[in-house]
Amino acid sequence: MAGSIRDLENGSWELRISNGYDANNKQRRLTKRIKATSKRQAQKALDEWNRLLSNKPHDAVDSKITFGQFVQIWDERHNSKLSETTKLGDRKRLELRILPEFWGIKIKKITAELILDFVKELQQPGENKNTGNFLSATSVHAHYKLINQIMNKAVEWGYLTENPCSKIQKNERPRPEYHQYPIFNESDLKRFLQKVDNLKDTPTNVKHQLMFYISLLTGTRKGELSALTWDRIDFEEKSIYVDKAVQFAKGVNRDFGKPKTKSSVRKLYFDDHIVKLLKKHRFYQDLYLSNRGYCNPQNIVFLATRKKENRLKPVSASCFYTWLSKFAKDNGFKHITVHSLRHMAASYALSCGAPLTSVQTMLGHTNIRTTSIYLHDMEDKRKATSAILADKFEKMRSDK
């Protein structure tokens, strides 16, 4: 059970609480007006009202609902509104492992112990009874996180008074082991930039040079890069407005959708080098469209070479990755991915003195803890820091 507050001005506030759904699946909303001197006081009143209501029994229709039945409601009301990638990933986890375990159990009968037993089973090495696959720590965490999110909605919509996941001790909750993407140190990155800049001036090379430098300088996600349109580029301000992303889920057409989070809608800035590449790329693109008799009504910056469904589409998920991976291998560099460029953008920005909050905004992260995952230890900077400290201490020792 959760709610919201609305300022009615003159010290009046309206409290709203969602109290589940009736037999006709119509939302039950409770409201009341109060007097409060501040938003904080109004929030405290809402919390207290929530506490009082949570002790009241729910209708019989709510008490009988099973986990599987609630997931169907959750999928329609919440999950269906998320991005295709997130939606399909959630459904896969549910269908393969979570629903076979909890489908017929009444949602109010699902305890912290049942969830913890399920998590421990997923953590077991060897074959999983539902899929036969070994799950990584990150994958186990994703399953637990999904159950937690579903239970939170059950509380918010009035089907539960408390999320059973909240009763699991923090040290017993699964934790992800995030993959550290490979990045280049300064000397390797310098050599790589030189190789990229020395490419022959062809339409394909210019396109990949531009994708590379935008990714490295701004840390854009691959879906955001593919969804870039000319009308979102300001050449005078040297900025890109990110407000959409291409959905790369398997079996889904490459169409525009919303960015990953609300924080992903942001403005990013580029330099004169990218300005030159943008103008050169646009020249080649206009020439290509004219020669083929094609139109680009969506103003897509990075077009796929072939039409799909009789219209031009953004580049595929593998387009830039394939080029980047092959280019690195052919020139004697270690393997890197498109996401490596995002990690490098964050790490180098921080090592050059950018505030962590600025890096967070650049990457479009809601939580700064997520940004910290992208920060790699820069050995060159670490050596320089040690030298600075050593010099400082030496002066302190010798100063009399």
Question: Do 135 and 195 lie in a common domain?
Answer: no
Domain stops at, among 147, 172, 197: 172
The gap between the terminal CA atoms of the chain, to the nearest Å, is 67
| Mean pLDDT in residue range 70-78 | 89
206 and 353 assigned to the same domain: yes
| Sheet order of strands, 266-269 included | 233-234, 239-242, 266-269
Q: How confident is the model at residue 163 (pLDDT cuts 50, 70, 90)?
A: very high
Residue 229 shares a structural domain with residue 267: yes
Which of the pair, 350 or 224, is modelled with greater confidence?
A: 224
Residue 265, domain member (yes or no): yes
Percentage of the residues of the chain whose pLDDT score is greater than 70: 82
37 and 117: one domain? no
pLDDT at residue 129, rounded to an integer: 47
Is there a single domain that holds both residue 112 and residue 10?
Answer: no
**Is 85 in the same domain as 134?**
yes
The average pLDDT across 120-143 equals 75
Q: Tell me if 391 is assigned to some domain.
A: no
The answer to which of 244-248, 319-323, 324-328, 358-362 has the lowest mean pLDDT is: 244-248
pLDDT of residue 289: 95
Least confident stretch, 9-13, 265-269, 338-342: 9-13
- Same domain membership, residue 82 and residue 50: no
Confidence of residue 105 (pLDDT cuts 50, 70, 90): very high
Please indicate, yes or no, if residue 61 is contained in any of the structural domains. Answer: no
Smallest Cα–Cα separation from 359: which of 380, 373, 340? 373
Average pLDDT of the residues of the chain:
83
Q: Are residues 331 and 261 in the same domain?
A: yes
Note whether 155 and 39 are same-domain residues.
no
Token pair listed for 41: 């006081």
| CATH number, position 369 | 1.10.443.10
**Structure-token match 């019989």, residue found:** 60
User: Per mean pLDDT, which of 204-218, 302-316, 378-392 is the most reliable?
Assistant: 204-218
Above 90 in pLDDT, residue 21?
Answer: no
Res. 107 pLDDT band, cuts 50 70 90: very high
Task: Return the CATH number at 154.
Answer: 1.10.150.130
Quote the CA–CA distance of 64 and 66 in Å, as a whole number. Answer: 6
In this structure, are 161 and 303 located in the same domain? Answer: no
Statement: residue 340 has pLDDT above 70: yes
Q: What is the pLDDT of residue 306?
A: 81
Confidence of residue 252 (pLDDT cuts 50, 70, 90): low
Average pLDDT in the 267-295 region? 94
State the pLDDT confidence band at 369, using cuts at 50, 70 and 90.
confident
Cα angle 259, 260, 266; round to 5 = 55
Instruction: Give the torsion through C-alpha atoms of 119, 120, 126, 128, to 10 deg.
Output: -40
- Assigned domain for 87 exists: yes
- Mean pLDDT throughout 304-311? 81
Look at residue 239 in the predicted model and tell me its pLDDT: 93
Whether the predicted pLDDT of 78 surpasses 90: no
Residues 6 or more apart whose CB falls under 8 angstroms from that of 353 comprise none
Give yes or no for residue 106 having a pLDDT over 50: yes
Tell the residue number behind the tokens 């969804």, with chain if given: 227
Rounded mean pLDDT, 323-339: 94
Across the range 70-92, mean pLDDT stands at: 83
In this prediction, residues 211-239 reach a mean pLDDT of: 93
Domain that holds residue 84: 67-172
Domain boundary among 56, 83, 100: 56
Give yes or no for residue 398 having a pLDDT over 80.
no
Most confident of 22-26, 121-125, 149-153: 149-153
pLDDT for residue 24: 54
pLDDT score at 23: 46
- Mean pLDDT is lowest, of 18-22, 136-140, 147-151, for 18-22
Q: Is residue 117 part of a domain?
A: yes
Statement to judge: residues 124 and 256 lie in one domain? no
Domain count, the chain: 3
pLDDT winner (highest mean) among 8-22, 203-217, 248-262: 203-217
Helices of type H across the chain: 39-54, 60-63, 67-77, 84-93, 99-102, 112-123, 137-156, 186-197, 203-218, 222-226, 272-292, 317-330, 338-351, 356-363, 368-373, 379-398
**Residue 388 within a domain:** no
**Between residues 73 and 352, the one the model is more confident about:** 73
Give the pLDDT mean for 254-261.
74
Q: Is the pLDDT of residue 255 over 90?
A: no
Above 70 in pLDDT, residue 81?
yes
Examine the domain organization and report whether 47 and 92 are in the same domain. Answer: no
pLDDT of residue 179: 67
Residue 60 has pLDDT above 50, yes or no: no
Query: How does residue 63 score in pLDDT terms, banded at 50, 70 and 90?
Result: low
Q: Is residue 79 part of a domain?
A: yes
Structural domain includes residue 95: yes
